[in-house]
Chain A
């Protein structure tokens, strides 16, 4: 079935560093969603992208909808310990379904 490939699988960074992660697909998506899951919690929507080439920010987070519509990027600037968690990309596929990538696990050392 359709998959979203996220990379890297995990990242270990120092507080204050910038972070970049991406999500690719073999199919075109019309919407890209980025969620964060804190330990023991459900995912929370961070940023939604609806147009190819769109660049959207939410505080220290910036996400881009790739021009090819087959990829998306999420950047976190000046990371802090509470950025720790799993970041998922997702997109609606086949009408009513939303598929999720396997996630990028972020670890931040203070």
Chain B
């Protein structure tokens, strides 16, 4: 157990709909990262928040948005869903805001599996 929690575990919805994925970071971690993993693909970095502020953006679609709240939990909002948005969405957290540095290991949650029909 990494200490990162994600809800829901599974989500099935229809094209055109909007969903919200939720992530609670490990206690004490200030950074939250969102990744998308499509079938047989690697992890695509979407966005990072540090202590409530956006820190870095990857290939995140304009239909997607995220935020980090004062209690440090984060939500990823996906709207106007398309079939191609079906994927595993992972949240990770780290203590600081420089992933890959000696003291800033990213810990991943169990993921939310989104299926768009």
Contacts and interface: CB of A to CB of B under 8 A. Distances in A.
Contacts of A91: 100
A102 B42 contact: yes
Contacts of A48: 100, 102, 105
A45 B98 contact: no
Contacts of A31: 100-101
B97 A88 contact: no
Given A45-B105, A48-B105, A88 B42 contact: yes
Contact of A100 (B43, B56, B98, B109): B43
A96 B42 contact: no
B16 interface: no
Contact of A98 (B41, B59, B99, B111): B99
A33 interface: yes
A68 B90 CA distance: 31
Nearest to B45: A97
Contacts of B98: 92, 96
Nearest to B44: A100
Taking residues whose C-beta sits less than 8 angstroms from the other chain, chain B's interface range is 20 to 34
Interface in B69-113: 90, 92, 97-102, 105-111
Nearest to B48: A96
A95 interface: yes
Given A88-B43, A100-B43, A101-B42, A45 B106 contact: yes
A31 B98 CA distance: 12
Nearest to A32: B100
Interface string B25-65: 00000000101000001111100100000011011000000
A46 B99 CA distance: 15
B99 A43 contact: no
21 contacts: A30-B100, A31-B100, A40-B110, A42-B2, A42-B109, A42-B110, A44-B108, A48-B105, A88-B42, A90-B43, A92-B98, A92-B100, A95-B56, A96-B99, A97-B99, A99-B45, A100-B35, A100-B42, A102-B41, A102-B42, A103-B42
